[in-house]
Chains A and B, each alone.
Chain A
Amino acid sequence: MEKVKHMSQKQKNRRKSSQAIWIVAGVAVVAVAALIGLSLSASKGKAPDPAAPKARSDQELGAKRNILGSDTAPVTLLEYNDYLCPACAQASQVVPILLGDYIAKGQVRWEVQHYILHKDAIFGAEAVECAGDQGYWWSMHEHILLNQAKGLTTKLTKDYAKELGLDTAAFNKCVDSDKYVPLIQEQHNGGEAKRLTGTPSFFINGRAIELKTWNDLKTEIEKELKK
C-alpha cells in the first residue's frame, strides 16, 4: 500500500515537471516574438530608401578599409587619389576592369591613399574614411568619384551617405568631428615624401610606374608577377 502511494507521488512529480517545462518554453517563445516585433518595427523607419542604389559593403567586395584584395597577394598596387581629379575618377572605373581578375585570384591587392591636390578633395577623403567606419569605404569612394562633376562639400557627402543607405547620424558626427584629418594628412605627407607630380600616381610593390595608357598598368602587373 505504501509503495503504491509512493509511485503515484513520483508520477505526479514527473507530470508536474514536464508541464512546467512546456509553460516555460511557451513564455520564452512569446518573449522572443515580442523582441522580434520590436526589432522589426525599430528597423522600419531607418531602413535605407529601397530606390537608393544598393551599396556593396567592403566585406562583400573583399576589402578592408582602403585595401581591396587578399592580404597575401604578391603584388600591391598603391594608388594616390584626389577626389576632384578627373583621371582619378577614370581610375576608379578602369582599375577594377583591368585588374579585377588578378584581385579575385589573390594575386593583386589595390590600396588607395589620399593625396590632396584640390583643396576641397579633403571633404571626399573624410567622407570615405567615415563610410569606412561603417564598412562602406569603397562604395563611398566610387560614389564620390562618379559624382565628381558636382564638386565636393560636406553637405554633399552627407547626402551621399544617405543615398548609400548608411547610418547618417553616425556618419555626420564622424565627418563633423574631423577625426580623420590626421590620417589624411599622414597619407598626403607620405605622397609628398615620394615626390608625387600629380594624381593618380601608382606604385607597384613600392616602385613608381609611369602610365602612358591604362593598359600599361596590366603590363606592369604581369611583369611584377613574373619576377
Chain B
Amino acid sequence: MSLRRLLQGILGLSLIGLAISLYLTYIYTSGRVAICLTGGGCDVVQHSPFAWILGIPIPTLGAGAYFLLILLALLGARKGERQATYVLALFGVSLVGLLFSAYLTYVELFIIRAICSWCVISAVIQLVVFLLAVMAWRQTEQELAD
C-alpha cells in the first residue's frame, strides 16, 4: 500500500472515532443514556469510577486523540522534509491510543464487568490505526534510505 493510501485509511478511521467520541462526550456531560448497540453495558461503563480522569470524561480524551491523528494524517500526506516527523508522531499518538484502549478494555472486562459496544469499536479502530501507522512509518523509512 502506498503511503498516501495508508494515511487516507488512518484519516477515515479517525473521523469515525472522532464522531463516536463526540457523541459519547455529549452523553457523559448531559447525563443522558447512550444508545448501546449491544443493548446494555454502556450505561454501566459510563457510571463506573473509571469513566472520568481529572474531571475529563474518557470519550473527551478519545476525541482529542482522534483529532490529533486526523491533523497528523493530513500534515503527513504532504511531501516535504517534515513528512517523516509527522508520520513518526502519528506512530507515537496511535501507540498511546492503542495501549490506553487495551487498559480500558481490561478494566471493562475484569473490573467493571460490563462491555460497551462503542468502547469496543473505538478499541478496534485504535488497533487498526496503529497497524496502519507502523506500515506508514516503514514506508517513509524506506524513502529516507533511498
User: Which A residues are within 8 Å of any B CB, using their own CB?
Assistant: 10, 13-14, 17-18, 20-21, 24-25, 27-29, 31-32, 35-36, 38-39, 42-44, 46-48, 57-60, 63-64, 132-136, 166-167, 170, 173-174
Contacts and interface: CB of A to CB of B under 8 A. Distances in A.
Contacts of B113: 57, 60
A27 B92 contact: yes
B95 interface: yes
Given A60-B113, A135-B41, A39 B50 contact: yes
Nearest to B44: A135
A17 B44 contact: no
Contacts of B114: 57, 59-60, 135
Contact of A21 (B40, B47, B54, B88): B88
A58 B113 CA distance: 11
A36 B114 CA distance: 19
A29 B31 CA distance: 33
A135 B144 contact: no
B39 A10 contact: no
Given A24-B92, A28-B99, A35-B103, 17 more contacts: A10-B145, A13-B145, A17-B144, A21-B137, A25-B92, A31-B96, A32-B99, A35-B100, A39-B103, A42-B49, A59-B40, A59-B41, A59-B115, A60-B114, A135-B43, A135-B47, A170-B47
Contacts of B33: 133
Interface size class of B (residues with CB under 8 A): 35 or more
Contact of B39 (A35, A42, A59): A59
Nearest to A168: B47
Given A14-B144, A35-B100, A136 B92 contact: no
Contacts of B140: 17
B91 interface: yes
Nearest to A133: B33
A28 B137 CA distance: 16
Contacts of A17: 84, 140-141, 144-145
